[in-house]
């Protein structure tokens, strides 16, 4: 069975019920604020983490679970690893002629912390907001309607086409017998060519499905515009609730830039 | 089951500095805005379900992998394939949707980094891949496999260039030194690009066999347009690559003015958008020069797009007045 990839965890916590528009704006603001933190402002990182952990608690997720999930982007740290030896300045010498630059290490650790915190913030949005709410929030935040419609279509059909792809993969696996000690399959080029053919096949099925979808939409009165309910006005309470994490972020960033550097 | 290959191309948050990420959002917003207008002008309302379902197709097609060696597997990124099938403007929207959903729903790439992630995989890869495809197809002429060879070239170049752009963005952010990141990214993606080229060719060969009606020849107007945009993007990248290496000698007139001591007499303009080609509020000189360069290129490109467009908009009115 094909699994849905959606990370949404249904729930009734205050964070689940918060206005999705406010959640989207606060998420972007927090990630932007985290990016602005100066490298050497070390007290800022635990302070920002308390904010993440507080929001997680509000969503009834354990901080430990968020901390673990936040590590998904860490393999990318490979890209920042050379900083340890290339940044000029005072360095600690290790055995074998390797010197770890102090400034490089500081920058490397700061990048990892920022990445880890940002991923947790993004996850909090995804885990507490259903996809329909997220699309609705993007639309009311003036993301162009065409893009919002495409995003909605993509998510709606990624499960369907994902299952289609699984069927193709299963069919290939069923015809790929191999026995111990005997060479099986063709060359790398041949294998790639087969995968390409399957992608082409999947394209045709998707194309034909889109024609059926369009016909069905026409049948229901589609005239080039997606119809949506008018969004309810943003309540003062929802906006104020969003201001609290932003205020905390502002205080942390101010302190980081003025005193903690 | 779903072991995600470490796609070195989806930059997570934290790895781009805030100013670099904002430049990425600006550039991407302008180009995606243009794509939205182009698609609305050229194509009908039936394109929306088509593009939406094809965005899901790219997502599902990335599941179809093939074993390479040592437990790694190759799979599709998709920019060039979609550009050949739908044309570059629609492909920009499809790939933008794919990258945005990957970031929003699966944390595959950051939200602040989304600007440059869309730019690398959805704009640069699409236009460069398509421009190379069109050029190679024309250069090969009557060669029976011209279309497939051209698509392979386009796919490989698009992956390679997107990887190099990623390395550049990381380097400008101070995350990864350029002399390490560039060869590493370019090297790995030279191989990944071969996988991309093979799958793209396999898919197009299959479509040509079964539904040749879906594969038209690229129209001259779109081909020229995308060649121009691809060239513009590549030049902008080249400028960004070169600028920190450029020496700090003042340019000719300024040098003379300093020597002859009349530089004090020079008056500042009444207002400056980018004083001394630097962005106010950012200390790192190389960084600000690059950002200023990118903004400058964008403004020039924007004017370059706006002027012909305005002329075209006005043209029918003039005709009417003459009648």
- With an 8 Å Cβ cutoff, is A157 touching chain B? yes
pLDDT exceeds 80 at position B267: no
Q: Give the DSSP letter of residue B269.
A: P
Q: Which residue has the tokens 């290496």?
A: B245
pLDDT in tens, B49-99: 999 999 999 999 988 877 665 555 666 788 999 999 999 999 999 999 999
Res. A150: pLDDT tops 90: yes
- The secondary structure element, H or E, covering residue B72 is strand B72-74
Give tens-digit pLDDT for B203-247.
999 999 999 988 877 888 888 888 888 888 888 888 877 765 433
The domain total for chain B is 1
Nearest CA in chain A to B33: A144
Q: What is residue B1's predicted lDDT score, i.e. its pLDDT?
A: 23
- Domain contains B38: yes
Paired residues of A97 in beta bridges: none
Of A35, A122, A213, the CB nearest to B53: A213
On whether the CB atoms of residues B207 and B214 are closer than 8 A, the answer is yes
- In the three-class reduction of DSSP (H, G, I as helix; E, B as strand; rest coil), residue B69 is classed as strand
Q: Give pLDDT tens digits for B138-185.
A: 999 888 889 999 999 999 999 999 999 999 999 888 888 888 888 888
User: Are the C-beta atoms of residues B110 and B11 closer than 8 Å to each other?
Assistant: yes
Q: What is the pLDDT of residues B271-284, one digit of tens each?
A: 444 445 555 555 55
For residue A173, the model assigns a pLDDT of: 86
pLDDT of residue A137: 92
Kindly tell me if the per-residue pLDDT of A163 is higher than 50: yes
pLDDT at A49 over 70: yes
In a domain, B287, yes or no: no
Chain A, residues 203-242, CB within 8 A of chain B, namely 203-204, 206-207, 209-211, 213-214, 217, 222-224
Instruction: Check which CATH number belongs to the domain holding B128 and give it.
Output: 1.10.1760.20
Residue B321 has what pLDDT?
41
B176 contacts B14 by C-beta, under 8 angstroms: no
Residue to mutate among A115, A169, A195, with most B CBs inside 10 A, is A195
Contacts of B2 (CB under 8 A, 6+ apart): A3, A5
Identify the pLDDT of residue B322.
Answer: 41
Lowest mean pLDDT of A201-210, B58-67, B278-287, B310-319, name the range: B310-319
Residue contact A86–B180, C-beta within 8 A: yes
Which residues form the domain of B217?
Answer: 18-245
* pLDDT higher at A121 or A86: A121
> Which residue of chain A is at minimal alpha-carbon distance from B46?
A214
Q: Is residue B26 part of a domain?
A: yes
Closest Cβ opposite residue B64 in set A147, A198, A223 = A198
Catalogue the E-assigned strands of chain A. Answer: 91-93, 99-101
Low-confidence winner among A52-66, A193-207, B208-222 (lowest mean pLDDT): B208-222
Q: What is the pLDDT of residues B11-62, one digit of tens each?
A: 999 999 999 999 999 999 999 999 999 888 777 777 889 999 999 999 999 8
Contact A159, A2 (CB under 8 A): yes
> Does residue B313 form part of some domain?
no
pLDDT at B100 over 60: yes
Chain B residue with Cα closest to A170: B64
The verdict on residue B266 lying in a domain is no
Residue of A nearest to B82 (CA): A203
B65 in a structural domain: yes
Q: Do B12 and A154 touch (CB under 8 A)?
A: no
Contact across the interface for A200 and B203, Cβ inside 8 Å:
yes
Residue-range domain boundaries for chain A: 14-133+239-258
Say whether B206 and A146 touch across the interface (CB within 8 A): no
Give the per-residue pLDDT at A184.
Answer: 67
Select the residue of A35, A123, A157 nearest B53 (Cβ to Cβ).
A157
Nearest to A149 among B52, B110, B206 (CB): B52
Mean per-residue pLDDT of chain A = 88
Confidence label for A66 from pLDDT (cuts 50, 70 and 90) = very high
Q: Is the ipTM of this complex over 0.95?
A: no
Question: What was the pLDDT predicted at B285?
Answer: 56
Alpha carbons B247 and B244: distance in angstroms, whole number? 8
Q: Over 80: is that where the pLDDT of A212 sits?
A: yes
Classify strands B66-69 and B72-74 as parallel, antiparallel or unpaired: antiparallel
How far is it, in rounded angstroms, from Cα A88 to Cα A53?
36
For residue B205, tell me if it sits in a domain: yes
Inter-chain CB proximity B205 and A200 less than 8 Å: yes
Assign B249 a pLDDT band (cuts: 50, 70, 90): very low
Residue B189 lies in a domain: yes
Q: Which pLDDT belongs to residue B151?
A: 95
């Amino acid at each position: 069975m094909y699994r849905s990839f959606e990370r949404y965890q249904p729930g009734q916590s205050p964070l689940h019920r918060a206005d999705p528009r406010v959640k989207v704006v606060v998420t972007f603001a927090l990630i932007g604020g985290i990016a602005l933190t100066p490298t050497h402002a070390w007290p800022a990182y635990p302070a920002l983490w308390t904010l993440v952990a507080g929001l997680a608690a509000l969503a009834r997720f354990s901080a430990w679970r968020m901390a673990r999930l936040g590590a998904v982007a860490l393999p990318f740290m490979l890209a920042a690893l050379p900083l340890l030896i290339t940044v000029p300045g005072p360095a600690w010498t290790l055995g074998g002629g390797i010197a770890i630059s102090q400034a490089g290490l500081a920058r490397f650790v700061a990048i990892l912390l920022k990445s880890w915190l940002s991923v947790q913030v993004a996850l909090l949005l995804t885990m507490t907001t259903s996809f329909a709410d997220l699309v609705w929030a993007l639309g009311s935040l003036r993301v162009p309607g065409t893009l919002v419609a495409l995003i909605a279509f993509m998510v709606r059909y990624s499960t369907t086409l994902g299952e289609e792809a699984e069927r193709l993969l299963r069919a290939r696996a069923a015809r790929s017998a191999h026995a111990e000690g005997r060479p099986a399959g063709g060359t790398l080029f041949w294998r790639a060519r087969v995968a390409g053919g399957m992608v082409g096949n999947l394209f045709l099925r998707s194309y034909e499905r889109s024609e059926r979808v369009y016909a069905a939409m026409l049948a229901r009165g589609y005239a080039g515009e997606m119809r949506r309910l008018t969004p309810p006005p943003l309540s003062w309470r929802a906006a104020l609730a969003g201001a609290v994490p932003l205020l905390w972020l502002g205080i942390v960033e101010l302190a980081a830039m003025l005193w903690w550097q | 089951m779903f072991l995600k290959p470490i796609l070195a191309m989806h930059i997570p948050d934290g790895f781009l500095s805030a100013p670099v990420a904002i430049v990425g959002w600006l550039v991407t917003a302008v180009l995606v805005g243009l794509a939205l207008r182009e698609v609305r002008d050229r194509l009908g309302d039936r394109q929306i379900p088509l593009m939406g379902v094809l965005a899901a197709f790219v997502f599902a097609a990335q599941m179809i992998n093939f074993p390479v060696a040592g437990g790694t597997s190759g799979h599709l990124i998709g920019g060039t394939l979609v550009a050949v099938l739908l044309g570059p403007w629609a492909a920009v929207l499809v790939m933008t949707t794919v990258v945005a959903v990957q970031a929003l729903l699966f944390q595959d790439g950051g939200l602040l980094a989304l600007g440059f992630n869309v730019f690398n995989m959805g704009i640069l890869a699409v236009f460069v891949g398509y421009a190379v495809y069109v050029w190679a197809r024309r250069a090969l002429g009557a060669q029976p496999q011209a279309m497939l060879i051209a698509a392979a070239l386009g796919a490989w170049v698009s992956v390679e260039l997107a990887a190099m752009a990623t390395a550049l963005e990381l380097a400008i952010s101070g995350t990864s030194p350029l002399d390490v990141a560039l060869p590493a990214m370019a090297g790995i993606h030279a191989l990944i690009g071969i996988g991309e080229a093979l799958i793209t060719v396999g898919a197009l060969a299959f479509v040509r066999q079964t539904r040749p009606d879906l594969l038209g020849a690229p129209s001259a107007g779109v081909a020229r347009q995308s060649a121009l945009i691809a060239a513009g993007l590549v030049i902008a990248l080249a400028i960004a690559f070169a600028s920190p290496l450029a020496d700090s000698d003042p340019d000719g007139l300024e040098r003379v003015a300093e020597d002859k001591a009349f530089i004090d007499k020079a008056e500042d303009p009444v207002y400056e958008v980018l004083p001394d080609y630097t962005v106010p509020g950012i200390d790192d000189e190389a960084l600000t020069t690059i950002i200023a360069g990118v903004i400058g290129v964008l403004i020039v490109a924007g004017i370059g797009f706006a002027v012909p467009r305005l002329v075209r908009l006005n043209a029918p009115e003039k005709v009417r007045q003459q009648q």
